[in-house]
Amino acid sequence: MRAHALRAGLAGALLVTLFAVPLLWMLRLGNGLHGSLDAALAGFVAAVDAVGWVLVPQLLLAIAVFSAALQHVASRLAGVAGPPAPAWIDPAIESALLLGMLGTLSGMVNGFMGLSPDALEPGPLVHSLGTALRSSFVGFSIALVGVWVRALPAAEPVSEPS
């Protein structure tokens, strides 16, 4: 019984760490921020402006897919039977890939829109293309975690030694 409680405590600590690290990264390091929530929101708004509305459903898909992955990890650490892959995981994988490509195309169109060959400045163009490609990176990352969740079998409960 004590080993089960220890595994459950470790699983809880892992979950807290996995949720806290990205939040701290966003507030402290993302886009050169220095802990300001206003700056974090401004960075988020700038990212949405760069690739369009695609970023919002990508974030929602990421939360859903990563929470399913965390359930599997936590159940394995706690030694309890894990849930089967949710029925929505296949459409989520496909949607993440397509939203990533849509965000890339949207960002590239926005990057090249209004440019003339005579007044081409590489700095803003490279920035907008980098932001656009980040959309594909996010989409493929979400899909990769989703494929991993889909491939995992449900965990078998670990029996306690007597």
Taking only the tens place, the pLDDT of each residue in 73-130 is: 888 788 877 778 888 899 999 999 999 998 888 888 888 887 777 777 888 778 778 8
- Candidates 82, 88, 93, 92; CA nearest to 143 is 93
- Mean pLDDT, rounded, for 5-32: 57
Q: Determine if the pTM surpasses 0.85.
A: no
Rounded CA gap, 142 and 92, in Å? 9
Do 98 and 54 touch, CB atoms closer than 8 A? no
pLDDT for position 79: 80
- Mean pLDDT, rounded, for 43-61: 72
In the predicted model, what is the mean pLDDT of the chain? 75
For the chain, give me the number of helices (H) and strands (E)? 5, 0
65: how many CB neighbours lie within 10 A of its CB? Answer: 26
- Candidates 55, 15, 72, 74; CA nearest to 139 is 55
- Candidates 62, 1, 70, 51; CA nearest to 26 is 62
